[in-house]
Amino acid sequence: MAEERVVRDMRDARGAQDVGHAQGVRDTQDRDAHGVRGARDVRVAQVAQEVQVTRDEQEGQGAREAREPGRRDRKKAATRRNLLRTAARMFADRGYQQTTVKDIAAAAGVTERTFFRYFPSKEDLVFAEILDFVPPLKEEIAARPADEPPYTAVLGGLFAAAGRLDGGLGILFVGAPPRALSTGMRRSAVLTDFEDGIAEALAARLAHRSPAEPAPARALRAAVLARASVAAVRSALIAFTTRDATTTDPPPPLEDFAALLHEAFAVLRSGGE
């Protein structure tokens, strides 16, 4: 009996040890599993943070890229205006022929390479001046008194629009070579845009002055008046720029060109009589 009890006690003890060992193994496994889950949770949190940082950086980069074109466009527009203003002043002071691209670039504080990024040639700069002049000219013609005759409205609009630009009349006319608006495909296109701008402004005025006139007839009359006006401007320009072309003296003052414009438009108003 005693032996049986001893054997039974040993068996019970061994069973208890086995149970304890198993429990210890399970506890260890639980701790290991908890450690793995904890490490995994930490890594997941790190990855999420990295993803958020990357997303924030991308959004910030996108915002910067969205802003950058605006800054670039403003800078380019400012450089273009600076070149036009500088050229107008130099043309007025020295004359077109005596002013080089190198002179304009140096005075504007840029390189010749920068100049050519904006204007393929000195002549193209003059064309740009003319095209930039068209919108304010149309506005000024439209703002003239309603009872003004067409030629008077155009001439008044020319002087008023020139007064809104740096360089005044110089930015439009003094810069042009003697026959810059006479020949060539590019010159013809610029001249047509100039004429069309005046014609559009005159057509609007004629609609108020002669509402019963058929639209096609009114458009034709506006086109004829506009092209005659531009012919007067070109004639005054050529007379002004060729007056002393054989000398190296400074160009005549802008007042002389203004006087020639008045004379040219007086010829139009008189019908050439």
CA dist 174 → 27, 253, 256 (Å) = 97, 10, 11
Residue pLDDT, tens place only, 208-236: 888 888 999 999 999 999 999 999 998 88
* Helix boundaries (H) for 95-174: 101-108, 112-118, 122-143, 150-163
Domain ranges of the chain: 122-270
CA dist 8 → 2, 17, 52, 272, 273 (Å) = 10, 14, 65, 143, 146
Helix (H) or strand (E) holding 95: none
Total-model pTM: 0.64
Measured at the CA of 240, the angle between CA 137 and CA 258, to 5 degrees, comes to 45
Query: Considering only 38-52, 126-140, 237-251, which range has the smallest mean pLDDT?
Result: 38-52
Contact (CB, 8 A) for 134 and 197: yes
Query: Which residue from 117, 45, 37, 39 is spatially nearest to 75, judged by alpha carbons?
Result: 117
Greater confidence, 256 or 22? 256
Residue pLDDT, tens place only, 112-171: 999 999 999 888 888 888 888 899 999 999 999 999 999 999 999 999 998 776 555 655
Residue pLDDT, tens place only, 50-90: 555 555 555 555 555 555 668 888 899 899 989 988 988 88
Fold of 122-270: Tetracycline Repressor; domain 2 (1.10.357)
Q: How far apart are CA 151 and CA 144, in angstroms?
A: 11
